[in-house]
């Protein structure tokens, strides 16, 4: 038990170190952007005195290391700064956007994870059958299509030619759950089709790999049905790689929604990030990038810890 606690503590420490390094990369990436931020915001007609005063107001007259320490200290205190575009606190602007992004990611995950696991199990159960080949063709096709292309296809067939769903996923926040699910079905379906293939193929590969092990062969010799062998004996031992791929795809559902949100004009973090980049709203860009990075690192840590808990062999050095 103590070794398990130490192992989890090591993973959490590595996660915090990774997040710290990523925060440095985010700040450095913003610092390396070409052009003068104050000049870009105030325009070419700004006088040198106005530019100097505006730089002092933004803290741009301080050394980069000082500004990074101030920004990081504010993040630890829950203060992400103020938006340059509308002077409002960034935490206030992120509130509804963050909820919308997590709602869309959860909506897609609720559909994608069970369907992917079922398809993966059935593909392993009926290996090399027509169903297995059809599922693999579907998976490879979904992986090959970029997000925006898949989104426009769904808009064309389900919103333009057939008026089943709205082409724009506009939600306010106070509509009933059923109405919100209806309006966001197309972006959720886009994300589902993109991530379901990875999870399905990993589930199939993990189970097929285990079907060649001696204990599965013994279960066959005992006369157990193929479905019971897969569900009861193979699937639990394949949880570690399956959990990893599910966590990675859940991270994508939150972090990789930028293109999908822009296509469907969905009011989430991805759309807000694109708007902030176009307006050179650097504090907002930094805040959203750090949230995306923290979410991705957290889900990877969660997958790592769940894999350790589900597979005792990972707790001991080989």
Long-range contacts of 290-294 (CB under 8 A, 24+ apart): 290/22, 290/23, 290/26, 290/75, 291/94, 291/98, 292/254, 292/255, 293/19, 293/22, 293/23, 293/26, 294/19
Distance CA 124, CA 45 (A): 67
In b/e form, how buried is each residue of 105-114, taking b as 16+ CB within 10 angstroms? bebbbebbbe
Taking phi first (over 0 means left), then psi (-120 to 50 degrees means alpha), and beta for anything else, what does residue 209 get?
alpha
Of 246, 119, 244, 270, give the one whose Cα is nearest residue 187.
270
- Tokens 């101030």 found at: 70
Of 157, 243, 153, give the one whose Cα is nearest residue 193.
153
Q: What pLDDT does residue 187 have?
A: 92
Are 223 and 136 within 8 A, CB to CB? no
Distance CA 302, CA 307 (A): 8
Superfamily of domain 90-315 in the CATH hierarchy: MetI-like (1.10.3720.10)
Q: What pLDDT does residue 125 have?
A: 81
pLDDT tens-place values along the chain, 318 residues long: 567 777 788 888 888 899 899 999 988 888 777 766 676 666 677 777 777 787 777 777 788 888 888 888 888 888 888 887 777 888 888 888 888 888 998 999 999 889 988 888 888 888 888 988 888 888 888 888 888 888 899 999 998 888 889 888 888 777 788 888 999 999 999 988 888 888 888 888 888 887 778 888 888 888 888 778 877 777 777 777 788 888 888 888 887 788 888 899 898 888 888 888 877 788 888 899 899 888 888 888 888 887 777 766 666 555
Distance CA 97, CA 268 (A): 4
Contacts of 147 (CB under 8 A, 6+ apart): 190, 191, 194, 256, 259, 260, 263
3-class DSSP assignment, residue 169: coil
Q: What pLDDT does residue 315 have?
A: 60
The secondary structure of residue 81, as a DSSP letter, is: -
Q: Which two tokens stand for residue 172?
A: 């306010």
Are 68 and 24 within 8 A, CB to CB? yes
Q: Which two tokens stand for residue 252?
A: 């994508």
- Tokens 């959490």 found at: 12
Dihedral sign from CA coordinates of 217, 223, 227, 229:
negative
Q: What pLDDT does residue 313 have?
A: 63
For the chain, the domains span: 2-76, 90-315
């Amino acid at each position: 038990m103590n070794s398990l606690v130490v192992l989890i503590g090591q993973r959490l420490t590595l996660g915090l170190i990774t997040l710290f390094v990523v925060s440095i990369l985010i700040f450095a990436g913003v610092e390396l952007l070409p052009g003068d931020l104050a000049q870009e915001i105030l325009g070419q007609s700004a006088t040198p005195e106005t530019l100097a005063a505006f730089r002092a107001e933004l803290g741009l007259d301080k050394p980069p290391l000082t500004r990074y320490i101030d920004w990081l200290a504010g993040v630890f205190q829950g203060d992400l700064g103020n938006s340059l575009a509308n002077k409002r606190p960034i935490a206030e602007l992120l509130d509804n956007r963050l909820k919308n992004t997590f709602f869309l990611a959860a909506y897609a995950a609720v559909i994608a994870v069970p369907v992917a696991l079922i398809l993966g199990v059935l593909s392993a159960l009926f290996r090399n059958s027509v169903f297995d080949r059809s599922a693999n063709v579907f998976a490879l096709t979904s992986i090959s299509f970029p997000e925006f292309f898949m989104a426009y296809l769904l808009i064309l067939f389900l919103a333009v030619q057939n008026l089943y769903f709205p082409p724009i996923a506009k939600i306010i926040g106070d509509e009933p759950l059923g109405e919100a699910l209806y309006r966001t079905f197309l972006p959720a379906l886009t994300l589902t089709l993109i991530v379901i293939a990875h999870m399905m193929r990993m589930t199939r590969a993990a189970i097929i790999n285990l079907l060649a092990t001696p204990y599965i062969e013994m279960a066959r010799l005992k006369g157990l049905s193929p479905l019971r062998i897969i569900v009861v004996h193979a699937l639990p031992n394949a949880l570690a790689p399956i959990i990893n791929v599910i966590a990675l795809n859940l991270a994508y559902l939150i972090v990789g929604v930028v293109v999908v949100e822009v296509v469907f004009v969905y009011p989430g973090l991805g759309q807000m990030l694109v708007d902030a980049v176009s307006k050179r709203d650097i504090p907002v860009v930094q805040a959203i990038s750090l949230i995306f990075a923290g979410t991705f690192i957290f889900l990877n840590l969660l997958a790592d810890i769940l894999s350790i808990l589900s597979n005792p062999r990972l707790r001991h050095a080989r």
